[in-house]
Amino acid sequence: MMHYLSQKEVRALETKANEIRQSIIEMLVAAGSGHTAGPLDMADVFALLYFRVLRHDPKNPDWEERDRLVLSAGHICPVLYATMAHAGYFPIEELLTLRKFGSRLQGHPHRTSLPGIETSSGPLGSGLSQAVGMAIAERMNNEYTSKYIYCITGDGELDEGQIWEAAMLAGKEKLHNLIVIVDRNGIQIDGYTKDVMPLESLRDKFEAFNFDVQEVDGHNIRVLNDAIGKAQAIYGKPSVIIAHTIASKGVDVFERDFRWHGNPPGKGPEDRVPKSEQAKVALEKLKTLAGAIEKADS
């Protein structure tokens, strides 16, 4: 079960999240393609999961007692790969092979290519169904299982009908070992979610499917930690944490702009930063933030 994070632990996780963000920029630039907004805004969540929450073993990825993490929003895999590399699953240098022919780091995760990847993902909406199946299977093996199945979805992904079919089954089966985290950044590839397909009231929707619902700041690591702890303590229903995030968090000149959903630095919109300067500016912004985190802890 979770426990309270000290200020030192919070700062360490914030530092790790910043390192993950820098790796995301570097790997996207090396690939020349890929998604920027979602990976950057989920770095805090992934740092907390892999360095604090998940029961996992980078040296033994198939450890039977591990928790499972299902990345339903497969297009944000740069944050998954970067976090796994920093956690010790594979060398950080390998991140620069993202999207290359023959690389284990495909543009969407491929389960058999990289140890530690639980599911192949790409078609949006399918991950929650996979996670529900895992949660049911785990309960069949052990009614009082202490293993958790975490499923990461995007908010634009919630447009998919299969999400709600899976949610209906999860609620019916009272899957207390299922914890869904929604990246509520308000954007998708064609625009803002409020314009493309309004989702509110998202809380009411999940509650109608018998989920325990929490809405939190997706960049406040202590609040996220407490929310996951509460979700772990829920019995008799699945949990969802709606993590309100800022698209492209950490690089202020990219933030909240849906045009960064599917563009890497060097190919993004030029109205704030020229393409030729985007990678440099992004890394400079993140290094400045790293210094601010370090100074705050001194």
- Does residue 149 surpass a pLDDT of 60? yes
Q: What is the DSSP string of 130-187?
A: HHHHHHHHHHHH-TT----EEEEEESGGGGSHHHHHHHHHHHHTT-TTEEEEEEE-SE
Q: N- to C-terminal Cα distance for the chain? A: 30
187 and 156 in contact (C-beta within 8 Å)?
yes
Q: In which band, very low, low, confident or very high, does the pLDDT at 298 lie, cut at 50, 70 and 90?
A: low
List the one residue out of 76, 93, 100, 85 whose CA is nearest residue 50. Answer: 85
At residue 296, the pLDDT reads 79
Residue 235 CA to residue 145 CA, distance in Å, equals: 12
pLDDT reported for residue 292: 87
Residue with tokens 């985290």: 181
**How far apart are the C-alpha atoms of 34 and 138, rounded to whole Å?**
34
| pLDDT score of 140 more than 60 | yes
Is 247 within 8 Å of 260 (Cβ atoms)?
yes
| pLDDT tens-digit map of 214-247 | 999 999 999 999 999 999 999 999 999 999 999 9
Q: What is the pLDDT of residue 255?
A: 97
Whether residue 126 is preceded by a cis peptide bond, meaning omega within 30 degrees of 0, is no
DSSP state of 54: -
Q: Is the pLDDT higher at 2 or at 110?
A: 110
253-282 residue pLDDT tens: 999 999 999 999 999 999 999 999 999 999
Q: What is the pLDDT of residues 192-220, one digit of tens each?
A: 999 999 999 999 999 999 999 999 999 99
Is the pLDDT confidence value at 5 over 70? yes
Report residue 295's pLDDT band, with 50, 70 and 90 as the boundaries: confident
Domain ranges of the chain: 7-296
| Cα 44 to Cα 24: distance, rounded to the nearest angstrom | 13
Pairing of strands 178-184, 239-244: parallel
Structure tokens at 172: 């019916």
pLDDT value of position 2: 63
Of the listed ranges 101-105, 114-118, 137-141, 179-183, the least confidently predicted one is: 137-141
**Which pTM value belongs to this model?**
0.96
Is 3.40.50.970 the CATH number for 7-296? yes
Q: What is the pLDDT of residue 94?
A: 98
Look at residue 294 in the predicted model and tell me its pLDDT: 81
The Cα 125–Cα 98 span in angstroms is: 23
**pLDDT tens, residue by residue, 55-94:** 999 999 999 999 999 999 999 999 999 999 999 999 999 9
Interhelix angle 77-87/7-31, rounded to 10 degrees, is 120
Residue 144: pLDDT band with limits 50, 70, 90: low
H or E segment and range at residue 17:
helix 7-31
**pLDDT value of residue 205:** 98
How much of the chain, in percent, has pLDDT values that exceed 70?
98
- Percent of the chain past pLDDT 90, that is, above it, reads 92
Question: Looking at residue 5, what DSSP letter applies?
Answer: P
